[in-house]
Amino acid sequence: MLQKKICMLGGFAVGKTSLVRRFVQSIFSETYLTTVGVKIDKKSVVLSDKTVDLILWDLAGEDDIGSFRLSYVRGATGLVLVADGTRAATLTVALTLRERTEAEFGAMPFVLLLNKSDLADQWTISDDAINEMRQSGYQIYLTSALSGESVDDAFIQLASLVSK
């Protein structure tokens, strides 16, 4: 049994929880997010040579980065950063959160999900910016909670990164 602790980080209302709802096993209700500040789900990813159980710590999204419970990230081996493609500020929040965790716990693999790709007309993040980030090695996925687009691919990518 191979398990990895993964933290899902992102600003307020970027759609982390609804993005993964259809793809994960879950026993806890979403009220945990507002009470304990974290909700734990499980995603089993089948890779070519093994199966990895990603234990997803879905941390409550807050735009006030200072109130972020950093201790929940301890022991994580990977991150899922989620930003809302229609609010460019959330990308900054996600990247800042990553910087903070890196400063505290060291660098770790991550994937960046730009969510709400179904709302193309409200999109605010330029393709150039995305390409630039990709060139600097970021694994970026345009996702949609509505269609479930690319979500599985992102999990597979992250699983192979953390189980290397």
Would you tell me which residues interact with another protein (CB under 8 A)? 1-5, 25-28, 32, 36-38, 40-42, 53, 55, 57, 69, 71-72, 74-77
* Least distance between another protein and beta carbon 68 (Å): 11
What is the phi/psi pair of residue 157, to 5°?
-60, -50
Pick 2 or 120: Cβ nearer another protein: 2
Minimum CB distance to another protein, residue 121 (Å) = 38
Minimum distance, C-beta of residue 85 to another protein, in the bound complex (Å):
29
Q: 3-class secondary structure for 35-97?
A: HCCEEEEEEEEECCCCEEEEEEEEECCCCCHHHCCHHHHCCCCEEEEEEECCCHHHHHHHHHH
β 25-26/38-46 pair status: antiparallel
CB of 73 to another protein, least distance (A): 10
* Nearest to another protein of 28, 92 (CB atom): 28
- How many residues in the chain? 164
**Toward another protein, which CB reaches closer, 4 or 116?**
4
